[in-house]
Structure 1
Amino acid sequence: MNWKSLFTSGANMSPEEARKFMDVHPRDTYQILDVRQPKEYEQGHLAGALLMPVKEVTTRLGELDRDQPLLVYCHSGVRSKAACQLLLAEGFSEVYNMSGGIVAWKGEKISGGELQGLEFFMERDFPDVFHMAYAMEEGLRQLYLGLMDKVANEENKKFLERLAAFEEGHKAMLVAMFAPEDFSGIEDDEGRADDGIVEGGLDRRQIMAHFDSQLDSLEDILQLGIMLEAQALDLYSRLARKSEVGKSRELFHFLAKEEAKHLGYLTEKLDSLLAE
């Protein structure tokens, strides 16, 4: 351990700077570390963050990639500063403390623990991760199309249709890049979407019921889309971490990057709308 590093805490990064950092870097090129307690993590965390309470940092270093930047946060910035000091002392070179912590974060937060959403995959009979991912993409496509019937404004209908087209594009890329040789289609896996599962492990029917009368404006639609894409990014990131090196991890990393792109698009559109 380098004792001199105990007197430094790495570079500070404001929440806005952290958000810009995430926007310009592919999702699989950096790590987000939440050093709070499990209960705090469950109440709300950044999408894709790995939970590692500060007291566990030095005993779980093997879970971190030393070659990637580390963005560390806690509730208000105190524990994350301490965690950054420990990481620097252990030889991690690019460590950033998100000043102000999650209380200063203005973006989407994900609720639930590290196993949130995984029960959907344990309970359903998917032959492999490709079929599972394909069914989730189709589920979200059907959700966006279903929501079109709940909005009166034609412009908002077209925007929902565009979001559905994004998911159709995801499905096409999944088939091109990851489909097994015996994949025959489309019909079987689109049928699996009838289970109600959508990206992020959420239930489509519950979402439809909850937002039945709450999609009166483009802002409402954007807020819903941001919530869904952030939840999906979080789940795919956790699945990638839990997967062995190989095709499954590659698939989940790919999906996480795609969700990060969609999330960036939606948040930029919302920012522009609110600035008008």
Structure 2
Amino acid sequence: MTPDELKNYMATHHESDFLLVDVRQPEEYGKEHIPGAKLCPIMTYVAGLYEQPGDRDLIFYCQSGGRSAAAAALAIEEKVTTRDVHYLTGGIEAWEDRTLPDFPKISIFDLSGTQEELLRTAMDLEKGALRYYDHVAKRFAGKSFAGVFSRLAEAENAHARTVYDVWCRMVDEPPPFETIFQELKGHILEGGEDLKKMLKRVISIKSDTCMILIELGLLIENAALDLYKAMADQTVDRHTKKAFLAIAQAEKAHMKILLGQIEKCAQT
């Protein structure tokens, strides 16, 4: 939901029809928030300590979209409401017209391709995510949050191996994993973002580094979750479907790893 769509929604719906939830930290909420929003820090939400009405639309927002995307994904997964679930694209930064213009989306997946092509592309996307997380971990080596991104880089390698194992069943005389992984470019991340442009954005971060990196990571993982669920729905091969669903489940675990870092961001 874009800022204009949210403004129009709020103008045309009764307050009893929806709940606007700010999933940031109390200090962020205290600095500025959308009028009428209820504060529920994301980790309170994830821990299940926040009861949501099951008969109202839920609209989540945060600083730039990452935390609210994760909250919306979890709300949909857990079926916490019979109504619609949305999140504000770009967060309060977009609401206040402060969004940076360099977070492009690219069409990278032709779901009509062969199973072999889908799997090879999936491995390429995993390499892109690995390269991104590895760069972040090395660039901020020594920071308390660097280890989180090292863990995610290792996880992307494991995902690629999972996909490779399924791919091997479909090709004659497959090369070793190390060989094919080396050949892959990894120029695009799982969520469809261009790696070079994402790295430029990382380099441009001047303040609130930890929180911005967490937000970016959540956006990547949420997009990856959507992608792998779509791929699982598309495929008819049970081994491929199982692999894609396993990775989708892992993407949710990645979101929780990133969310677990948020309270530590205030200490950096």
Q: TM-score, normalised by structure 2?
A: 0.55
Q: Distance in 2 between matches of 1:250 and 1:13?
A: 36
2:242 is matched with which residue?
250
Q: Is the 8 A contact 2:126 2:160 kept in 1?
A: yes
1:241 is matched with which residue?
233
Please tell me whether residue 122 in structure 1 is matched to residue 110 in structure 2: yes
Deviations 1:3-55 (A, max 9, x none): xxxxxxxxx999689x89x969xxxxxxxxx99xxxxxxx99956989xxxxx
2:158 is matched with which residue?
169
2:203 is matched with which residue?
212
Letter in 2 for 1:134: M
**Cα distance 1:131–1:209, how it changes in 2: closer, same or farther (>3 A)?**
same
Q: Distance in 2 between matches of 1:102 and 1:191?
A: 37
Q: Which has the higher contact order (CA 8 A, sep 6+)?
A: 1
**Cα distance 1:126–1:197, how it changes in 2: closer, same or farther (>3 A)?**
farther
**Cα distance 1:150–1:120, how it changes in 2: closer, same or farther (>3 A)?**
same
1:159: how far off?
3.6
Please tell me whether residue 144 in structure 1 is matched to residue 133 in structure 2: yes
Q: Distance in 1 between matches of 2:114 and 2:107?
A: 12
Letter in 1 for 2:197: Q
Show the 5 A alignment for 1:1-276: 46=69, 70=79, 96-97=82-83, 102=87, 119-122=107-110, 127-151=116-140, 153-176=142-165, 178-181=166-169, 182=171, 183-186=174-177, 187-192=179-184, 194-214=185-205, 217-244=209-236, 246-271=238-263, 273-274=265-266
Q: Distance in 1 between matches of 2:182 and 2:259?
A: 29
Deviations 1:94-128 (A, max 9, x none): xx3368x646xx9xxxxxxxxx9783133999943
Q: Alignment length, in residue pairs?
A: 198
Q: Is the 8 A contact 2:232 2:245 kept in 1?
A: yes
Letter in 2 for 1:174: V
Deviations 1:230-253 (A, max 9, x none): 121122223333334633332321
Q: Distance in 2 between matches of 1:49 and 1:70?
A: 10
Q: Distance in 1 between matches of 2:206 and 2:128?
A: 19
1:275: how far off?
9.1
1:139: how far off?
1.3
**Cα distance 1:245–1:171, how it changes in 2: closer, same or farther (>3 A)?**
closer
Please report the RMSD computed on the Cα atoms of aligned residues, expressed in angstroms. Answer: 4.6
Q: Distance in 1 between matches of 2:106 and 2:70?
A: 15
Letter in 1 for 2:187: G
Q: Distance in 2 between matches of 1:69 and 1:195?
A: 33
Q: Flag structure 2 segments of 5+ consecutive residues without an equivalent.
A: 1-17, 24-39, 48-56, 59-64, 92-103
Q: Distance in 2 between matches of 1:235 and 1:23?
A: 22
Q: Distance in 2 between matches of 1:179 and 1:117?
A: 27
Q: Distance in 2 between matches of 1:46 and 1:207?
A: 18
Q: Distance in 2 between matches of 1:70 and 1:270?
A: 25
Q: Distance in 2 between matches of 1:219 and 1:206?
A: 19
Q: Is the 8 A contact 1:135 1:190 kept in 2?
A: no
1:207: how far off?
0.5
Letter in 1 for 2:204: S
Q: Which moved more, 1:152-161 or 1:261-270?
A: 152-161
Identity %: 18
1:257: how far off?
0.5
Letter in 2 for 1:166: A
Q: 3-state SS of the aligned residue for 1:97? A: coil
Q: TM-score, normalised by structure 1?
A: 0.53
Q: Distance in 1 between matches of 2:19 and 2:139?
A: 41
**Cα distance 1:210–1:46, how it changes in 2: closer, same or farther (>3 A)?**
closer
Deviations 1:140-168 (A, max 9, x none): 11112223453364544444322212222
Q: Distance in 2 between matches of 1:209 and 1:238?
A: 29
Q: Is the 8 A contact 2:115 2:235 kept in 1?
A: no
Letter in 2 for 1:180: C
Deviations 1:200-253 (A, max 9, x none): 222111101122121763333322221211121122223333334633332321
